[in-house]
């Protein structure tokens, strides 16, 4: 069976390189291209089941790649015959970015400098239901998840919801609202609302006081 691939990147030269790389494999065919996150979502809806794999850059204009992945999942959620799998092909930025893409629904992450053979294997693996990561990214993910532990402070802040406690932990680590939003794949407005609720429940008036309370309880480490 031929795998239909949608290419999503805002750099024409890189799109051309992807097109050429996939053209050399008889089992893969490019069924469409998009230069923005919004165009990618529209293309998935328009092309339907012809798209089995989406090769997605994360740094896209108008709609970031992570949001585009979430939107693609949303519009195909009720269609069992049309659930394209997303393979991120992007410059490696940081651990939070990779995790945000996975939370949004990506099935793999390949660095842009990957060889043609690595890219083709990754597309095939994802199309067949697997997940794949470039070696350097896999190593960083292992290190990232090896230090994740159960968020402390449950007894100290029983009035907080699990989500609020998670946000407070990130706040205690010095993360800005925008970075928290990226990490948890939430909107900036949602994070701001959670932070306001946290301040009210902890009876603090500013970020510094909230951070102090959180760190005293063992959060942010």
**Domain range for residue 167?**
162-216
Please check whether residues 126 and 185 belong to one and the same domain.
no
Same domain, 24 and 73: yes
Question: What is the distance between the terminal CA atoms of the chain, rounded to a whole angstrom?
Answer: 49
Residues 117 and 33 grouped into a single domain: yes
In a domain, residue 155? The reply is: no
Residue 109, in any domain of the structure: yes
CATH number, domain of 167, equals 1.10.10.10
pLDDT tens digits, 154-206: 556 778 887 888 899 999 999 999 999 988 888 899 999 999 999 998 999 99
How do residues 121-145 score in pLDDT, each as one tens digit?
999 999 999 999 888 778 777 766 6
Residues 22 and 126 in one domain: yes
Q: Are residues 192 and 104 in the same domain?
A: no
172 and 129 fall within a common domain: no
Number of domains in the chain: 2
Please tell me whether residues 192 and 85 are part of one structural domain: no
Closest CA to 11 of 55, 44, 63, 60: 60
Mean of the per-residue pLDDT values for the chain? 87
In a domain, 210, yes or no: yes
Instruction: Check pLDDT > 70 for residue 146.
Output: no
pLDDT at site 91: 82
pLDDT at 30: 96
Beta-carbon count within 10 A of 46 CB? 11
Predicted TM-score (pTM) of this structure: 0.67
Residue 19 has pLDDT above 70, yes or no: yes
- In three-state secondary structure terms, 16 is helix
């Amino acid at each position: 069976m031929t795998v239909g691939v949608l290419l999503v990147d805002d750099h024409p030269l890189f799109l051309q390189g992807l097109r050429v790389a996939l053209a050399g494999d008889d089992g893969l065919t490019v069924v469409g291209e998009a230069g923005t996150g919004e165009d990618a979502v529209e293309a998935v809806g328009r092309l339907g089941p012809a798209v089995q794999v989406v090769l997605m850059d994360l740094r896209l204009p108008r709609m970031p790649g992570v949001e585009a992945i979430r939107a693609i999942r949303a519009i195909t959620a009720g269609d069992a015959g049309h659930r394209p799998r997303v393979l991120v092909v992007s410059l490696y930025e940081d651990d939070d970015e990779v995790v945000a893409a996975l939370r949004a629904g990506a099935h793999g992450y390949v660095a842009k400098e990957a060889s043609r053979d690595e890219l083709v294997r990754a597309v095939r693996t994802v199309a067949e239901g697997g997940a794949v990561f470039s070696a350097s990214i896999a190593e960083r993910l292992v290190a990232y998840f090896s230090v994740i532990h159960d968020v402390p402070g449950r007894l100290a802040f029983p009035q907080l919801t699990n989500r609020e406690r998670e946000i407070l932990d990130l706040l205690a680590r010095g993360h800005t609202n925008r970075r928290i939003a990226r990490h948890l794949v939430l909107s900036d407005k949602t994070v701001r609302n959670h932070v306001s609720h946290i301040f009210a429940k902890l009876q603090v008036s500013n970020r510094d006081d909230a951070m102090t309370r959180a760190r005293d309880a063992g959060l942010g480490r």
